[in-house]
């Protein structure tokens, strides 16, 4: 199994190298050169596997000779032993909406879907570094990541105390929830460094990419990526699409329609890879908030920054993103199959590079009608504003039995309801809405939604024990201007 960059200048990379590098030297994202084939009998042979067993089988298909099957199994079991339920990502019915289930992805240590990938990635970093140091001592990495809220805490919890790893997490100051900020900044381990940037998540993400683009700085500090630009993040998330499919088969025997709250596109991209591997998902639905670049693309074929308004602050802050970085991976497949002659991989990379250049210089690019039609064949989309988000939270909590949604999940549930007639027309299907975070992480938005509906909510009764008293704990965080130079200097000051 080898990997190439979406921008065409790098290929033939091993799984270990793409995990430790994160971002390709040409600025692109790593993708498999070829997708593996599932076993012919996977639908029966895997049907009763536990989540860790299923993850082992899927991940093992993508690692080549870099990990044995037993090593994958050990890493996976260690990673998911931190979850509060043996199912890891349980599928539960949503009584307020017909034929709809919620895939709960928030049972990890930071109560967000990012834990599914980042617990695994943290252990993967540690394993590869330990193996390299056993051969030749002196290997370390400096993880630099940007977060709109949940990635930061999940990365920190996955990497805190890890040997030979320093982690710097950038978050937009004042643009994450109080719980999200506290989860990050109250971790005082010596290898953890929080940086509050005076800007937006997109600014933080741009700074990370700029640092990776500085070849000497990247080499000196052995920069590694923890955002979903790192292929291992996407790979780990493929498992819960298969897990949900098998759970749905046991309950109903129906095909799933996955509805995914989407900001940076990594979560739903994992669903795309699952479908390309052979998972019989009837449709993938991209659900956006007011920061709707993905919905606009799927309606028009134009990928355009909404530069007039910038990033809109919403009740679902983890999705407050102007440009979805992971969309580049999907664009590569559109380019290969619909924009260049003969499906040439290098030509597809050059096409993606032109699109990314146009996005940087002109703020937009467009794909061909054939490429747009192909995208629409895979993805539907919808948009949800804050009023609709609050109304959806209130509606699902008012229905018996009550279900309390976090604002991001509410975006997905609203879009699923809006598309219900089209979904029903697909035949024997059930809607699976991915629940990306525990509602306790967004207490202000949830309480406002419930109280506006005239109901009461004892938030203390649903607060997970690890979050009790979190806001009162000591913190450590460095405040920084919106500048790659300033962040780079902070890293130098901390590491020498």
- Tokens at 47, concatenated: 């049907």
Backbone angles phi, psi at 418, to 5 degrees: -65, -30
Q: From CA 342, how far away is CA 347, in angstroms rounded? A: 9
| 3-class SS of residue 103 | strand
Query: Nearest 5°: CA angle at 49, between 279 and 103?
Result: 60
Query: Nearest 5°: CA angle at 286, between 282 and 288?
Result: 155
Which helix (H) or strand (E) is 43 found in, with range?
Answer: helix 42-45
Q: Which residues, including other chains, have CB under 8 Å from residue 353's CB and lie 6 or more apart?
A: 7, 8, 26, 28
| Residue 344 neighbours by CB distance under 10 Å | 14
- Tokens at 411, concatenated: 């975006």
For residue 108, CA distances in Å to 115, 240, 461 come to 5, 13, 19
Question: Please, are residues 157 and 262 in contact by the beta-carbon 8 Å criterion?
Answer: no
Counting every residue written for the chain, the total comes to 496
The residues carrying an active-site annotation are 114
Pairing between strand 100-104 and 91-93? antiparallel
CA max distance for the chain: 64
| Residue 326 neighbours by CB distance under 10 Å | 23
E-strand ranges in 312-409 read 364-366, 379-383
Say if residue 401 is preceded by a cis peptide, omega within 30 of 0.
Answer: yes
DSSP structure string for 309-339: T-SPP-S-GGG--SS-TTHHHHHHHHHHHHT
For residue 381, CA distances in Å to 114, 265, 397 come to 22, 12, 25
Minimal CA–CA distance to 208: which of 226, 191, 190, 232? 226
Residue 174: which region, alpha, beta or left (left: phi > 0; alpha: psi -120 to 50)?
Answer: left
Q: From CA 118, how far away is CA 114, in angstroms rounded? A: 6
| 3-class SS of residue 270 | helix
Q: From CA 378, how far away is CA 330, in angstroms rounded? A: 11
Question: Please, are residues 227 and 146 in contact by the beta-carbon 8 Å criterion?
Answer: yes
Q: From CA 496, how far away is CA 490, in angstroms rounded? A: 10
Question: Please, are residues 437 and 406 in contact by the beta-carbon 8 Å criterion?
Answer: yes
- Tokens at 457, concatenated: 């909510």
């Amino acid at each position: 199994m080898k990997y190439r960059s979406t921008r065409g200048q790098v290929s033939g990379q091993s799984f270990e190298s793409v995990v430790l590098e994160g971002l390709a030297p040409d600025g692109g994202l790593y993708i498999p050169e070829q997708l593996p084939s599932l076993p012919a009998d996977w639908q029966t042979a895997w049907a009763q596997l536990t989540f860790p067993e299923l993850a082992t089988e899927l991940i093992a298909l993508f690692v080549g000779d870099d990990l044995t099957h037993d090593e994958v199994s050990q890493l996976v079991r260690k990673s998911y032993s931190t979850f509060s339920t043996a199912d890891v990502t349980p599928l539960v019915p949503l009584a307020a909406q017909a034929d709809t289930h919620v895939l709960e992805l928030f049972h990890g240590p930071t109560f967000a879907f990012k834990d599914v990938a980042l617990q695994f990635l943290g252990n993967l970093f540690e394993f590869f570094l330990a193996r390299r140091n056993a051969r030749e001592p002196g290997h370390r990495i400096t993880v630099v990541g940007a977060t709109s809220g949940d990635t930061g805490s999940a990365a920190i919890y996955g990497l805190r105390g890890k040997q030979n790893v320093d982690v710097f997490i950038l978050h937009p100051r004042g643009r994450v929830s109080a719980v999200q900020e506290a989860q990050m900044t109250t971790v005082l381990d010596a290898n953890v460094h929080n940086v509050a940037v005076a800007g937006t998540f997109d600014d933080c993400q741009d700074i990370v990419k700029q640092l990776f683009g500085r070849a000497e700085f990247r080499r000196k500090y052995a920069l590694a990526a923890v955002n979903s630009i790192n292929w291992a993040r996407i790979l780990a998330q493929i498992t819960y699409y298969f897990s949900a499919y098998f759970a749905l088969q046991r309950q109903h025997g129906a095909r799933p329609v996955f509805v995914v709250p989407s900001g940076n596109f990594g979560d739903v991209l994992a669903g795309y890879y699952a479908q390309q591997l052979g998972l019989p998902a009837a449709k993938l639905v991209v659900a956006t908030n007011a920061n709707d670049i993905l919905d606009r693309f799927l309606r028009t074929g134009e990928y355009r920054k909404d530069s007039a308004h910038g990033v809109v602050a919403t009740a679902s802050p983890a999705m407050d993103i102007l440009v979805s970085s992971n969309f580049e991976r999907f664009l590569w497949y559109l380019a290969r199959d619909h924009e260049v002659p003969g499906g040439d991989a290098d030509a597809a990379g050059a096409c993606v590079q032109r699109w990314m250049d146009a996005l940087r210089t002109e703020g937009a690019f467009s794909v061909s009608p054939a490429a747009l039609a192909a995208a629409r064949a895979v993805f539907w989309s919808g948009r949800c504003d804050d009023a609709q988000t609050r109304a959806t939270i209130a509606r699902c909590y008012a229905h018996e039995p009550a279900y309390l949604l976090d604002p991001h999940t509410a975006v997905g549930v609203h879009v699923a309801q809006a598309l219900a007639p089209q979904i029903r027309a697909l035949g024997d299907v059930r809607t699976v809405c991915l629940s990306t975070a525990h509602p306790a992480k967004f207490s202000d938005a949830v309480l406002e939604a419930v109280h506006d509906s005239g109901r009461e909510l004892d938030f203390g009764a649903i607060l997970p024990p690890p979050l009790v008293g979190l806001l009162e704990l000591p913190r450590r965080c460095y405040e920084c201007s919106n500048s790659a130079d300033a962040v780079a200097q902070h890293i130098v000051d901390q590491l020498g």
